[in-house]
Structures are given as structure tokens and as C-alpha cells.
Amino acid sequence: MANLEGKVAVVMGAAGRGNMAQSIARRLAADGARLVLAGRDPEPLAELAEELDGLAVAQCDLTSEADLARLGQAAVERFGGVDIAVNATGWGLLKPFLETTKEEIERMTALQFTGAILFYQAMLRVMRDGGSLVQISSATATIMLEDHAAYMGTKAGADHVIRCIANEFGHRGIRANSVAPGFTVTPMTAKAGRNPAIIETFAKEYPLGRVGTSDDIAEAVAWLVSDACFMTGQTLQVNGGVTLRRNPRNAEIVDAVMAARAAAAAAKS
């Protein structure tokens, strides 16, 4: 367990029940942090805030400077400032490169690159010296996954922005790092996550033999934001070693699913 007593943590993206941001928020609260929870949907935010005795800032759009300023001000008014800021937002668009529309590219860029920068700016304006920023990135910012270019490119760009922040704000003792999960069963990947054949196809590429969980990522975030961490400007690959290998090809995933269906049909006959 990290010692986060007395620290104030903002977790962006916590408006989805059971998502990675909520897992991170629960872990930080268990380690002693006071939570400010941000996202668009008021109801799940309010539920989590009540559970963790935190503050919910709903209808907070990552791409809105006004909303993010309101988030920072709410943290200051309730807790006096911010020590930890985690951006756990994302849009898992899977679409062939030539079929990805300009509208989808602009939406992805607004959320995963421009919005990320705006979030860091807003948090740095209210962050106390010695604070910590964490970007939830992806193993696919380093290795390939087919039909995922817009997502991968913007995650990689946000990782480099994190390095810039680490360089510029280190004199204040502020650290900035990314955490890169691999395939993780969350609401964003729920459809694939319910198919054992897909999970197995990914897991065999992981040296540690399994895909990740939100709790794996929350554990890493808790360490990164603790005073015990002497790291900044880095991407922590919390993905079971998949970056040593590769993600499966689409054809391999389809073959695995079809083989599982055929085996199930044969078992019934």
C-alpha cells in the first residue's frame, strides 16, 4: 500500500461504472487520498463520490477549458489544492486506416491529445509543489494493433507531452509519468472481454501468461503518485510484457473465435 495520507487526487474519466478510472480512484482512496472525481455522467460519479467520501464534479468535458477550470477551482475550494492528477480517459476506436473519417480523427485528437493537454494545464495551475501527474496511455503507443491508428497515435503524442511536462516542472518537484496497459477487460473492451477465445489469443502473447486488470493499473498508479517514487518523464509498461512480443493480428483473432465456435458446436452434436 502506498502512503497517500493528506494528498488530494483528481481522477478524470471516473463517470463509467466499473471502468479503469473508478478502480484507480478506489485504490487511491484506500491508500489515504482524498478524491475529486470528474467526468460527464452525474449519476455514477455521485455514487462513487458517496462511496469514497469524495467530491464529484459532473458534466466535466475534457475538451472544455471552462469545465476544467471549474474542476480545478472545485478542488481548491473543497480541499485547498491538488497533489495528484490522473487522466484515465479514452476512446477505443477500432477502424481500418482508410475508413477512419476526418470527423473521427478530430474527435479522437480532441479527446486524447488536445483534451489531455488542457487537463494537464488546468491541474498544474492548482497543483502544489511535489505533486504528480499520470497519463493512462497504452502499450499500443509502442507496439502495433491493427485498425487502431488514431487511438495509438494520439496516445503516443500524449506520452511525449508528459515528458515535456516532466522536464519543465521538475524544478517544483512535480513528476509526470504515463502508465501503459495492454489489453485490459474494462467497459471499453467489454464485448471482446466476454469472449474467452479473444482473451486467450491475446494472453498467449503475454510473457506473464494473462491479460491485465484495472487493479494492475491502479496498483502502478498508486506507486507512481506516492512520495516513494523517484521517476519522472517515463512510460511504465504495466502490461505483462506484451511490448516484448506483439498483439495478435486480426486474422488470428477471427480464426480463434471461429475455432471456438466450431468446437462448441461439435460438443453439442
Q: Does residue 29 lie within any of the structural domains?
A: yes
Residue 163 has a CB neighbour count (10 Å cut-off) of 16
Q: How confident is the model at residue 265 (pLDDT cuts 50, 70, 90)?
A: confident
Residue 6 scores a pLDDT above 70: yes
C-beta of residue 206 within 8 angstroms of C-beta of residue 241 = yes
Q: Which residues are catalytic?
A: 151
Q: Does residue 172 lie within any of the structural domains?
A: yes
**Nearest in space to 226 (alpha carbons), one of 101, 98, 111, 84:** 84
Q: Does residue 258 lie within any of the structural domains?
A: no
CATH number at residue 31: 3.40.50.720
Q: Does residue 163 lie within any of the structural domains?
A: yes
Read out DSSP for 81-124?
Answer: SEEEEEE---------GGG--HHHHHHHHIIIIIHHHHHHHHHH
- Dump pLDDT digits (tens) for 143-165: 999 999 999 999 999 999 999 99
Distance of CA 127 to the CA centre of its chain: 20
pTM over 0.85: yes
**What are the cell numbers at 15?**
463517470
Q: Does residue 256 lie within any of the structural domains?
A: no
Cα separation, 57 vs 151, whole angstroms: 26
The answer for residues whose C-beta is within 8 angstroms of residue 13's C-beta and 6 or more apart is 19, 20, 21, 38, 39, 62, 87, 88, 89, 90, 136
Q: Does residue 40 lie within any of the structural domains?
A: yes
- Dump pLDDT digits (tens) for 22-47: 999 999 999 999 999 999 999 999 99
Q: Does residue 154 lie within any of the structural domains?
A: yes
- Dump pLDDT digits (tens) for 87-106: 999 999 999 999 999 999 99
Residue 194 scores a pLDDT above 90: no
Enclosing domain of residue 116: 8-187+210-245
Burial class (CB in 10 A: 0-12, 13-18, 19+), 171: exposed
**What are the cell numbers at 160?**
511525449
Cα separation, 154 vs 139, whole angstroms: 13
pLDDT, greater one: 184 or 268: 184
Q: Does residue 201 lie within any of the structural domains?
A: no
Count up the domains in the chain and report the number: 1
**What are the cell numbers at 22?**
473508478
